[in-house]
Structures are given as structure tokens and as C-alpha cells.
Structure 1
Amino acid sequence: MSVRNVRTGPRVVTAALCATLAVIGYMKVSAEEPAPNPAPGVRAAAKNAGPATSPRSPEAAVSPGTPAPGNSGAPGAAGAPGTTASEPKAPVGPPGVGPTTLTQIPDGTKQAFVVTGGSLNTSKSTAVLYERDAAGRWQRTGGPWPAHNALRGWTNDHWAGDLRTPIGVFRLGDAGGRLPDPGSKLPYDQDEQFVSPGTGFLGEPLEGSFDYVVAIDYNRVSGTTPLNRERPLGEDRGGGVWIHVDHGGPTQACISLTADVMRDLLRALDPAKEPVIVMGPAAEIGR
């Protein structure tokens, strides 16, 4: 993947929500409002496309090894009766990522930003950055970092205004923010339109939340500024789901981290490594 030098895609007068997570959304919902229970399952992004439409096709399951033919040989020898051939090892993903979720990570991906929630309805989570080495092993290269997700937790069937963060595996390819590029390897769009007025669910100021953002490829056009409002799945499926600067409380659908961590993340994510975010409650992404 090559880094773009020219930005495409429309911009808006105000930032895409997360860009609409301003006063209106926040003031209407109480942080103690009961959360609905969405359908179980993990919804993953198709590579380079809006994730809520079609999950990636799982790879074929690894079949257990079968006994080697007992042609001849002394007891205990390979091929002798009572012995088996070595069983192929199933791929091992980043810690906490189960075999089903692992099949949704593209073969070419060498960076995975894993955001794990404690349960389906919690708004606090933990983020860790992993990289896959030449031997195929996933090594931690950043974190763990505290993070926030949506007020009502998580969902595998996200809709606009449900105040839940989509569960799944999504591409990370575009960044931006109100502040200058801190050294991002991803294409970075500095723009004054990255603003977040108003207050959050806990009454905390939202100012500075969009100083740095990384667009999560949920219902958006990959390869454009995070400010692009085009929604391939329609406005009713939500959008503007970003990783952005934490404001000290739950989000509407985004993932938020401290400003220092956002700068570190922007410097670490490398388009040549085809980075993705794997996010959801532990029980879901651990499947």
C-alpha cells in the first residue's frame, strides 16, 4: 500500500461523527440508560470496503492430523501401528483473538490494533498494538493502553444513534486532525474542520477530541480524508467511526485514547503492513 500525497473526497462544514458526537447526541442520552442486547456474533469488515456489509470469507479450517499408515517398522517408529503423524498447527493470532476472528484478519496484515472490552455493555476498554514477525508470530509493540468506546458498549449490527461501537475487524488507512501531522505514516489530513464542540455524556468538554484521528473503515470510502461524509451503506447505518483523543468519557461509537498514545499510534501504524483494528468485548473477539 502506498502513501497518498493527494487527498480526495468531499469535506464537510463540521466533522463526521464521531464527528456528530456534539451536544445534541450527548445531551439526549443519560449515561445510566439501559442498554439493548444486540444479536450475538462477530461482524467483520471486508478488506478495503465498508465492514458492516459482508464479512470476509473464513479460511478453511485446519483438519486434525490422521494416523500414518502402519506399513511396517518397530514399535514407536513413524508409520508404525499406534503412532500418528505430526498434526498441523492452527494459526495463532494476537493474544485474546480467537480462531474465528483470526480468519477475518487479511493474510497480508502485519499490524493489528486490538481493542478489548470487558463485556458487551461496557464503555471502557483496553488497547494493544501487535505486529506479526517473519515467523508469523504476533508480538506486542505498544500498550496496553486504557481506552473508551461507546456509551452503551458494543454491537455486531451497528445503526446510527445506537450508541454502540461496531464489533469486528476493520482496516485502518487514513488519518488526520486539527493539529499538525505528528509523524504519521498513514496519509494525514490537517484541517480546522476537525472540531468537536459541546460536552460529553459525563459533562466533560469535547474540545480537542479531534486533534488527532484515525478513520476506522466502517461505512466509509477508504482512501479519503476522515472528513468524507459519503456512507456506502447509507446514513442510517452510522459512520464517522474514528480512533481519536480521549475526552474522559464514553463516545457515541468511536474508540478514544490519550493524546500521547494517539501520537504514538499515528507514528506506528504503517500502511505497508496493512493495519487493521480488531475490536469488541473479550467474549466476542476471543471466539
Structure 2
Amino acid sequence: MISRTPPVTLLAAALLLTGCGGGATARPQPPATAGPATTSPARPAPHISVDVAPQQLPGLGPKTWAQVPDRTRQAVVVTGRGRNSPLSTVVLYERTTEGWEAGEPWPAHNALKGWTDHHRLNDLRSPIGVYTLSDAGGRLPDPGTRLPYHHDQGFTVSGTGFEGEPLAGSFDYVVAIDYNREPGTSPRDWTRPLGAGRGGGIWFHVDHDGPTHACVSIAERHMRDLLAALDPARHPVVVMGDATALAR
């Protein structure tokens, strides 16, 4: 869910700001009396706090921010815990007239060995960068997404992960990350514009409680939330990498 400051809060704040000292009716003053004049101590103006969404995605440095397209109104930020860590956090941001508003943080896994600026096939690292999100799919039927959804029993995986956890169900829902792939095709399409050696098939998918080969995985309920939220008309992207890399 996306957290937004209620309009009534902003309205109340605006009324407080514009109402102080404006259009007040003068009160009759009591007649002057003999004796020392007294004055009332000045009261400090009330402090009014208004939450304003940031104009730039939090945690991003100028190099990373420059890669986010101007037309983007949805951004999924995946922040890795460390360069060599398989643990990360996912936050979906929505751009409004006030700025970027954040959803709740979701725990996630990334590749076993962490992150890289130059992903290679089977290097067990997730690619750092900003990538569009254009297609989804899965073994289960479309849960209700505006992305093109490719329902296919080929989204089946078996065996165990790096920590012995079962992989079954990991591809029940996926969102293709447009790294080294052709947007507008099924996530299972194996076209590799950069060449096979640069890897591919990198997705958001259902978490199996362990590190991935290169994908980003989140809990099934969060995958359903993500699929419901993503809107091609808002030109969604993923911004992904370890925290230090994203801050460049």
C-alpha cells in the first residue's frame, strides 16, 4: 500500500498558515490608567509541520538518479545490504504532484554473491542499474495486473536452493527485469541483445527463503501486491544495487 499525506491535513496546515494575523477584528482597548505601563510577553508563532514527499528517490546519488527517466511515475527500489550480501529491501515508490511517496518496505533476497556493475552469466551476482519493467507472467493465472501477463506452465522450477530450501513455487508469479532482454515479450523469451555471456532471465519472483542466482525475490503476498500496483501507463522501472552503489 502507498502511504499518502491526507489532503485534509495539508488543507488544515494551509489554513493555519494563511489564517494567522489576517482579517482579525480590532478589539476596543480599555482606557489608560495611571501607573506603569505593562505589555504582554510576545508569544512564539506555532510551529507547523507538514510532511512533504521528496522530489528525488531517497538513497540515490546523482549518477543513479540521472538514469531514472523523467516520465517514470513508479519506481521499485531494491537496496542491497552490502556489495557481497544476498539480503536486500524492496520499496515501491509512486510519483505524485508533491513528490515521491513510499510504500512499505519488503524484505528480499538477491544473488548469492551480492551485486556487480558488469553482470556475467552464472557469476551469482545481481546487476546494478535502472531497468524498465514491461512484462509479467507465472505458473498461476493472472492475479490482476495491468502489465502484459504470460500464463504458462513453463514457469515451473524444482530442486533446492543454495541453502537447501525447496524452489517449487518460486515462479508462480514473476515480473521480468529488462536487463539483456527484449521488452514486450514473455519473461521466458531468451533473446539476449548483449549476448548470452552477459546473462539474462532476471526477474522479480516469489521468495524461496534463500539467495538467488541473479534475481530479486519477495514473499508471494508482496509479489501479488507488486503485480497489482505496476501500471505501464506510469512507466515503471526498477532501481537496484547495494546501498553504496545506489548512492553514487
Q: CA deviation at 1:218?
A: 0.3
Tell me the secondary structure at the aligned position of residue 227 of structure 2. Answer: helix
Q: How many residues align?
A: 195
Let me know the Cα RMSD of the aligned residues. Answer: 1.0
CA shift digits 1:35-67 (9 cap, x unpaired): xxxxxxxxxxxxxxxxxxxxxxxxxxxxxxxxx
Identity %: 62
Report if aligned partners of 1:215, 1:226 keep a CA contact under 8 Å in 2.
yes
Tell me the secondary structure at the aligned position of residue 272 of structure 1. Answer: helix
> Which residues of structure 1 form unaligned runs of 5+?
1-90
**Following TM superposition, where does structure 1 have runs of at least 4 consecutive aligned residues deviating by more than 2 angstroms?**
none
CA shift digits 1:72-122 (9 cap, x unpaired): xxxxxxxxxxxxxxxxxxx94211122221110001000000000111000
What pairs up with 1:160-175 in 2 under 5 angstroms? Answer: 160-175=121-136
> Which residues of structure 2 form unaligned runs of 5+?
1-53
Q: Does 1:133 align with 2:96?
A: yes
Equivalence for 2:79: 116
CA distance in 2, matches of 1:269, 1:174: 10
Report if aligned partners of 1:155, 1:164 keep a CA contact under 8 Å in 2.
yes
Equivalence for 1:72: none
Tell me the secondary structure at the aligned position of residue 262 of structure 1. Answer: helix
CA distance in 2, matches of 1:104, 1:177: 29
Tell me the secondary structure at the aligned position of residue 100 of structure 1. Answer: helix
Of structures 1 and 2, the one scoring higher in RCO (CA 8 A, sep 6+) is: 1
Q: CA deviation at 1:256?
A: 0.1
Q: Does 1:94 align with 2:57?
A: yes
Decide which structure has the larger Cα Rg and report it: 2
CA distance in 1, matches of 2:156, 2:60: 34
Report if aligned partners of 1:93, 1:99 keep a CA contact under 8 Å in 2.
no
CA distance in 1, matches of 2:235, 2:223: 18
CA distance in 1, matches of 2:191, 2:239: 23
Equivalence for 2:34: none
Equivalence for 1:284: 245
Equivalence for 2:170: 209
TM-score (norm 2): 0.77
Tell me the secondary structure at the aligned position of residue 133 of structure 2. Answer: strand
